[in-house]
Amino acid sequence: MDNSKLVNRLGRIASALSVLMYVSYIPQIMNNLDGMKGNPVQPFVAMVNCIVWTLYGTMKKEKDWAIIIANVPGIFLGLITFVTSL
């Protein structure tokens, strides 16, 4: 396997793992809505991090779709987790 194929495959795997990481906020959102509030700091920082990475991926001369796809769910799920934990 040449290097470009390996890098492409690693990008896809990393994107999938990132999406799964942010989907893991869903149980915390459910707990927050049930009155068992979590700390809002971590999801807020994760959301800001995802915004910056998404901007980076979209502003590159050639858009980096692996970075964009990996971070967009984190923006929304981090925001929802942050808001529901207040």
From residue 86, give the alpha-carbon distance in Å to each of 13, 22, 30, 48, 76. 33, 19, 13, 17, 16
Which pTM does this prediction carry? 0.89
Assign residue 25 the CATH number of its domain.
1.20.1280
In total, how many domains does the chain have? Answer: 1
| Residue 77, domain extent | 3-84
Q: What pLDDT is stored for residue 1 in this prediction? A: 67
Encode the chain (86 residues) as per-residue pLDDT tens digits: 688 899 889 988 998 999 999 999 999 999 999 999 999 999 999 999 999 999 999 999 999 999 999 999 999 999 999 999 99
8 Å CB contact between 22 and 77: yes
- With H, G, I as helix, E, B as strand and everything else as coil, classify residue 2: coil
